[in-house]
Structure 1
Amino acid sequence: MNVIKLRAYAKINLGLDVVGKREDGYHEVRMIMQTINLYDQISMKKISDSGIYLKTNLHYLPVNEKNLVYRAAKLLKDEFNIKHGVDIKLDKRIPVAAGMAGGSSDAAAALVGMNKLFNLGLSKKELMERGVKLGADVPYCILRGTALSEGIGEILTPLAPAPECYVLIAKPGINVSTKFVYGNLNITEIKEHPDIDGMIDNISNGDLYGLTNKLGNVLETVTIKEHPVIDTIKQEMIKYGALGSIMSGSGPTVFGLFDNKKKAQEAFYHMKGLDIAKQVHLTDFFNQKRG
């Protein structure tokens, strides 16, 4: 197997609650994670020398230890004392610094790719255990689908596939620091917490309308205050027929869920025509079929 091609899928948070802060400074969360059909493409090739070579289509991304893809490849290379090197090409499509786990998903794909390329024989669970060393979202990006995420994001419980719908993604032309958002979150001031358990019930019942009524993200209390354009995008999506619209992760990406393809397409073209979003995508959930 000389070249492996992989897709690194983006995620959104259908629900994001922060339930506490640990002594080490990390926040305890309860989140419902959902993979969507928006992805980066990664190709990996075994080479004769021992180096790790990374190229990307975005000139401003690092191609050394500062990139999670590089670190993922090095992690397994070091652990298994792999003598051969690897040539990696990363084609970025997921918005960068957007609250969609693009970097984590790339790292997850790189771990999967290294496992296949060098026949390491690691199970999905074993890859997830290594992924958490690179970032809290990496294990989920290996698991994919619909899942409850707890702890700092590393405790994962797979859920039934979320009901199918159309997903409109809009990222304004700003970047948000996850560290800043969590650092400025005052848990005692949060007035409304999303009903995560209720959302899980709606998902298991295939109830899209019940689910969209409960969408919620407590980090909006910080990010929207800094960047009101996020709320403007949410309101535009609702105006154009979204059943619900919230910010994903720490932002600034906003998504809206639609039950009607025509409405979703109209909202997509409307959003493309406004100057409030720099990147706009229309997609759907990535899931295994409901049994």
Structure 2
Amino acid sequence: MLFGKKQEITNTETTVYARAKINLTLDVTGKREDGYHTVKMVMQSVALHDEVRVVVTHGEKKPRGIVVRCNLPYLPVDERNLAYRAAELFYESTGILLETCEIHIEKRIPVAAGLAGGSADAAAVLRALASLHAAGLTDEELCAMGLKLGADVPFCLRGGTMLAEGIGEELSALPAMPHCWVVLCKPPFAVSTKEVYQAIDAVDIRQRPDTAGMLKALDKGDFAGVCRRLSNVMELVTAAKRRQIGEIKEFLAENGANGTLMSGSGPTVYGLFSDEGRAKTAAKMLGRRFADTFLTETV
């Protein structure tokens, strides 16, 4: 034969759910010399998720490198996308040969909402690639890789109910939060996390989250105790500038929520409900005013 056997093209793929997170507590405890703020916070995964499908192709004549596709046309699909950077970091860190890696993101988590949607997508890509390439990475190694992308990525890799300290990377597993329904509402504006952190330095924080009390409530499976201790110092900054934060919290409380809080740096506000029917009704009513309103649950 004058020509060798045609190289076979092979595809392997997997789909990972990239789950949103909410903060049950968030306290800013200090500021490091490098400018990063230290935090102490309790985070919780919820069922609302992006769907991240990763396809790895071998044997193409012209490998295409990293290709990101998303159902939202306004989101970047190059190096500005954290999922893209996650794939880039994975191949650089492991030394595995990159041929073609396609990442398909079906976004459901609101963007720039305080729900760690971008971090969740990045974590999903790391999980998917570690599995597809049988890289043999431990959770600790994946989390160390994820931390290079952002402080929320290690939590998104692990999920559940966690205490986060340091800049968010020091994670301790906690007893699972009692199951409840969660109504999420993102008002129609974005919040800059960087600007909120900068502003928090000048705020007189008179009442900080009772993190110890929250841990005790979780340990006892005390849902009412969890709801009483919901607290986020970032609200002092964001809610002062945006009255909708307080209005949404008030609406949720008046319509059956056992507890309400802003998540992360905002602007998403959530309500915890023990009663599914009340949660559905509140979500339906709130959704008439705010398009980004979701009914979900803790996981």
Matched residue, 2:269: 254
The share of aligned pairs that are identical, in percent, is 45
Give the C-alpha shift of residue 187 in structure 1. Answer: 6.0
Q: Do the aligned residues in 2 keep the contact of 1:73 with 1:114 (CA within 8 Å)?
A: yes
Q: What is the distance in 1 between the residues matched to 2:203 and 2:112?
A: 27
Q: How does 1:216-227 map to 2 (within 5 A)?
A: 216-227=231-242
In structure 2, the partner of 1:289 is: none
Matched residue type, 1:37 = A
Alignment correspondent of 2:66: 52
Give the secondary structure class of the aligned counterpart of 2:33: coil
Q: Offset of 1:74 from its aligned partner?
A: 0.7
Q: Which residue of 2 aligns with 1:15?
A: 25
Displacement of 1:278 after TM fit? 2.8
Structure 1: unaligned runs, 5 residues or longer? 287-291
Runs of 4 or more, structure 1, over 4 Å off, are none
TM-score normalized by the length of structure 1? 0.95
| CA RMSD in angstroms, aligned pairs only | 1.1
One-letter code of the match for 1:62?
Answer: P
Give the TM-score taking structure 2 as reference length: 0.93
Does the Cα contact within 8 Å between 1:171 and 1:252 map onto a contact in 2? yes
* Structure 2 match to 1:177: 192
Distance 2:165 2:297 in 1: 24
Shift of 1:88: 1.1
- Look up the SS of the partner of 1:148 in the other structure: strand
Asked if 1 retains the 8 angstrom alpha-carbon contact of 2:71 and 2:107, the reply is: yes
Deviates more, 1:2-11 or 1:82-91: 82-91
Among 138, 141, 144, which residue is 2:156 paired with?
Answer: 141
- Checking the alignment, whether the CA contact within 8 Å between 2:65 and 2:98 is kept in structure 1 is no
User: How far, CA to CA, are the matches of 2:284 and 2:246 in structure 1?
Assistant: 19
Q: Deviations over 1:96-133 (max 9, x none)?
A: 00000000000000000110111111111211111000
Structure 2: distance between partners of 1:145 and 1:209:
19
What is the Cα deviation at residue 6 of structure 1? 0.8
Structure 1 pair 194–187 and aligned structure 2 pair: CA distance change class (3 A): farther
Is residue 78 of structure 1 aligned with residue 92 of structure 2? yes
CA offsets per residue over residues 123-165 of structure 1, 9 Å max, x none? 1121111100000000000010000000111100010100111
1:164-191: CA deviation from partner (whole Å, max 9, x where unpaired): 1111100000000000111111366001
The residue type equivalent to 1:66 in the other structure is: R
Q: Report whether the alignment pairs 1:29 with 2:26.
A: no
Distance across 1 between alignment mates of 2:210 and 2:158? 23
Deviation at 1:19, TM superposition (A): 1.3
Q: Distance in 2 between matches of 1:248 and 1:34?
A: 10
Give the Cα–Cα distance (whole angstroms) in 1 for the partners of residues 221 and 295 of structure 2. 22
Q: How does 1:186-197 map to 2 (within 5 A)?
A: 186=201, 189-197=204-212
Cα contact 2:182–2:295 (8 A) shared by 1: yes
> CA–CA distance in 2 between the matches of 1:187 and 1:160?
35
Q: 1:113 matched to which residue of 2? A: 128
Residue 283 of structure 1 corresponds to which residue in structure 2? 296
Alignment of 1:80-99 (within 5 A): 80-81=94-95, 82-99=97-114
Partner of 1:66: 80
Paired residues, number = 284
- The equivalent of 2:4 in structure 1 is none
Distance 2:88 2:199 in 1: 34
Task: Return the offset for 1:78.
Answer: 1.7
* Secondary structure of 2:294's aligned partner: strand
Once residues 239 and 12 of structure 1 are traced to their aligned partners in structure 2, the CA distance between those partners, rounded to angstroms, is 21
Are positions 1:156 and 2:174 aligned together?
A: no
Larger Rg: 2
2:137 equivalent among 91, 101, 122: 122
2:169 partner letter: E
Alpha-carbon distance in 2 for matches of 1:192, 1:148: 19
